[in-house]
Amino acid sequence: MKRNRKELDEVLDRVAAGIRSEEMDAEVVKSAADRVWARLSKETLGELPETKTVEEIRGCADFQALIPAYLRKELSEARALLLEDHTRECIPCRKALKAARSGDAQAVSTVQPVKRLTRTSAQTPIWKWAIAATLIIGIGLVVFNAYRRFAVGEARATVQAANGAVYRVTDSESRAIGVGEAISRGERIRTAKDSDAVVKLEDGSLVEMRERSELSLSQNTDGTTIHLNRGNVIVEAAKQRGGHLYVATDDALVSVTGTIFSVNNGTKGSRVSVIEGEVHVNHAGDEKVLHPGDQTTTNASLERVPIQEEISWSRNAERYVKLIGELTALSHELNKRVPRPGVRYSTRLLDLMPEGTVLYAALPNLANTLVESHRIMKERIEQNAALREWWQKNRGQKGEAELDRIIEEINQFGKYLGSEIVASARMGERGPEDPLVLAELSDAASFRSYLEQKIASLTSTEKGAPKIRIIDDPMDATQASNGKNEILIWINGDLLAAAPRLEQLQQLATRMKAPDSNTFKTTSFYQRLAETYKAGAGLIVAADLEKIIDQLVRENSGDANDAKRNEIFKQVGLMSLKHFVVEQKDVEGKTNSRAMLTFKEQRTGIASWLAAPISQRHWAESSLSLLTDQFCRRLPGRLSSRFTIRRACSKHLSAWSRS
């Protein structure tokens, strides 16, 4: 039967009305929505690898295995937060997450899980020194730093000042915030167009944000990280207590302990400029150290600009420009006027090192350099208002008085010393031990009187503080029943020797009487050090890696896991290591630095990957700390602050690095 158009319209209206009035079961609606979501997930995320069960997160491979579940919103809230925090700091994992979101399945996981070995208590000494040796070839340090960043904490900050609109940003909304509002870990804040803001961190650091900049904060065992997602910031970093302040961009990690610097993160890359202090910039494993007036970029296509232009938007631009100029001029003046220790072509102290020496450090007498540097700095600070303001802010009157006292103590102590101080350690059951410090004296009689006065003036209340004792003849002396609480000092003619055990000084006396009987002089490690002196020595830090590793292997031979450990050592390349030597010296007004790792056979394993040089200054400081820690920490606080070799060395290395 044919129906006209009017009848068909009436039928259609009745059907539509019925559909509109029909009440759908909620479970039916939810089931349909789930099917749609599953279909969409399959289309957009179906190419991602299946989520692997990750019971314990130990590295980037485990984090990347969680990405598919994270994108499907299947992760627990705790694991989702941990993954988000990690990807803010880890560039490879951040790239993997971005690739997963864009559908690039092949780029989701760039790190393959490795088979893990069960670690037993018997393996502890082996792994301790395996990691230490791996650090020397630049691998362990990266792993260690990455591991430290897995631990997260609550980082808080406050909006201290704002000019224009500032927003707290989430994936779904943006909310305006005002001065005085707190910012918690992971929260993103953004400045609008023609707006700027100042954020104050809990440690007192100030972060000045340019317009259209976005950042968030995180905290771990190594310090606080500012994640600059985009834009430009100027950071006035407060002095850090035991950690660092970091600024992380898409392709770089900037670290400081207290300074003023600018970081600009754009689509082409990152640009870092230094106003005051020292800044370390790590890009693709390459670390650069910058000082006032220095600038670096992470992309050759990203042009460098005058620092005055880079910071011209800041409310403190005028002060910063003056400070850069004055600090740069001061640095040039110090390099020009401050005397540097000359190179040494021979030393009798090397011949007195004990048999079994595996660690050796030779430091030039730095007293004249430090004293003259301090004098010139004070002179310039008194003459210049910008430097005076900077100095008072960083030191204050109390800090200045303390520094003056320390410099004067170094000056007095250094006047009695010869051209170098040498420290060594032998290999014991638990690693390097028995530190021995030797130095030549220019006036032994006066030095003994000076040292006795200083020891008598000590009033250390530290629990278990060691006793500092001067002995006349180690062959006739006795040691306290608890030798661990004693530092023995022997002054023999123009030679100063210090050690924690009397036996070490007795053996030294024997070597001095019969120098040809010292078997250390027949070792390849001695020959390597002697060659360094022949070429002219400044600072030397060296390790006999062959002996360290051989002894560790022997001590653990016969163990059930011995074969596995030896195989791991071979894969890492530790079995072929021989010597590691860091040198730094001034030649014709320029500082030359080099670090050399030698092998007893063809390189294998990770050691064969070595390419670009690492930071010699960093390794010098680290190795020196290993040598002197056991000795210096035995000293009461006041004596340690005056006489520790590490304090003087770090200051001198810092001055050297600036040239």
Angle between helices 562-572 and 124-136 (to 10 degrees): 10
Distances from the Cα of 113 to the Cα of 62, 63, 138, 259, 492, angstroms:
7, 10, 21, 39, 59
Q: Provide the pLDDT for residue 509.
A: 93
Q: Is the pLDDT of residue 214 over 90?
A: yes
Residue 186 backbone dihedrals phi, psi, to 5 degrees: 85, -15
Q: Is the pLDDT of residue 140 over 70?
A: no
- In terms of Cα–Cα distance, which of 40, 90, 41, 99 is closest to 67? 99
Q: Provide the pLDDT for residue 620.
A: 44
Domain residue spans of the chain: 40-113, 157-326, 350-658
Q: Provide the pLDDT for residue 527.
A: 93
Query: Positive or negative, the Cα torsion across 136, 142, 143, 146?
Result: positive
Other beta carbons within 10 Å of 651: 18
Q: Provide the pLDDT for residue 216.
A: 93
Q: Which two tokens stand for residue 412?
A: 């007095």
**CATH class of the domain defined by 157-326:** mainly beta
Cβ-contact 489, 472 below 8 angstroms? no
Q: Give the chain's largest Cα–Cα span.
A: 132
Q: Provide the pLDDT for residue 177.
A: 93
Q: Is the pLDDT of residue 658 over 50?
A: no
Q: Is the pLDDT of residue 334 over 80?
A: no
Residue 328 falls in which region: left (phi positive, over 0), alpha (psi -120 to 50) or beta: alpha
Q: Provide the pLDDT for residue 17.
A: 64
Strands (E) located in 212-334:
214-220, 223-236, 244-248, 253-256, 260-265, 270-276, 279-283, 286-290, 295-297
Q: Provide the pLDDT for residue 641.
A: 35
Tell me the average pLDDT of the chain.
Answer: 75
Name the β-bridge partners of 499: 488
Q: Report the pLDDT averaged over residues 635-655.
A: 39
3-state secondary structure 134-172: HHHCCCHHHHHHHHHCCCCECCCEEEEEEECCEEEECCC
- In terms of Cα–Cα distance, which of 289, 415, 326, 361 is closest to 630? 361
What is the rounded CA–CA span in Å between residue 140 and residue 498?
Answer: 33
3-state secondary structure of 183: strand
The model's pTM: 0.50
Which tens digit of pLDDT belongs to each residue from 355-404? 989 999 998 887 878 888 878 878 877 877 777 776 776 666 666 777 77
Residue 297 falls in which region: left (phi positive, over 0), alpha (psi -120 to 50) or beta: beta
Higher local confidence (pLDDT), 28 or 592: 592
| DSSP assignment letter at 339 | -
Q: Provide the pLDDT for residue 269.
A: 93
Distances from the Cα of 317 to the Cα of 7, 194, 307, 361, angstroms:
80, 17, 10, 44
Q: Provide the pLDDT for residue 605.
A: 57
Burial of 445 (0-12, 13-18, 19+ CB in 10 A): exposed
User: Which residue type sits at 451?
Assistant: L
What is the rounded CA–CA span in Å between residue 531 and residue 60?
Answer: 43
Angle made by CA atoms 268, 272, 276, in degrees to the nearest 5: 170
Strands 196-201 and 206-209 turn out to be: antiparallel
What is the rounded CA–CA span in Å between residue 447 and residue 489?
Answer: 12
Query: Positive or negative, the Cα torsion across 95, 97, 100, 105?
Result: positive
Angle made by CA atoms 644, 351, 441, in degrees to the nearest 5: 45
Which tens digit of pLDDT belongs to each residue from 61-80? 888 888 888 888 888 777 78
Which tens digit of pLDDT belongs to each residue from 104-122? 545 444 444 433 333 333 3
Cβ-contact 153, 185 below 8 angstroms? yes
- What is the number of helices (H) and of strands (E) in the chain? 21, 25
Q: Is the pLDDT of residue 53 over 90?
A: no
Which tens digit of pLDDT belongs to each residue from 414-465? 888 888 889 999 877 766 788 899 999 988 878 888 888 888 876 554 555 6
3-state secondary structure of 519: helix
Q: Provide the pLDDT for residue 643.
A: 35
| Secondary structure element (H or E) that encloses residue 431, with its range | strand 431-441
Distances from the Cα of 164 to the Cα of 51, 209, 232, 270, 356, angstroms:
45, 12, 16, 25, 68
What is the rounded CA–CA span in Å between residue 249 and residue 283?
Answer: 10
Strands 157-163 and 166-169 turn out to be: unpaired
3-state secondary structure of 225: strand
Cβ-contact 235, 223 below 8 angstroms? no
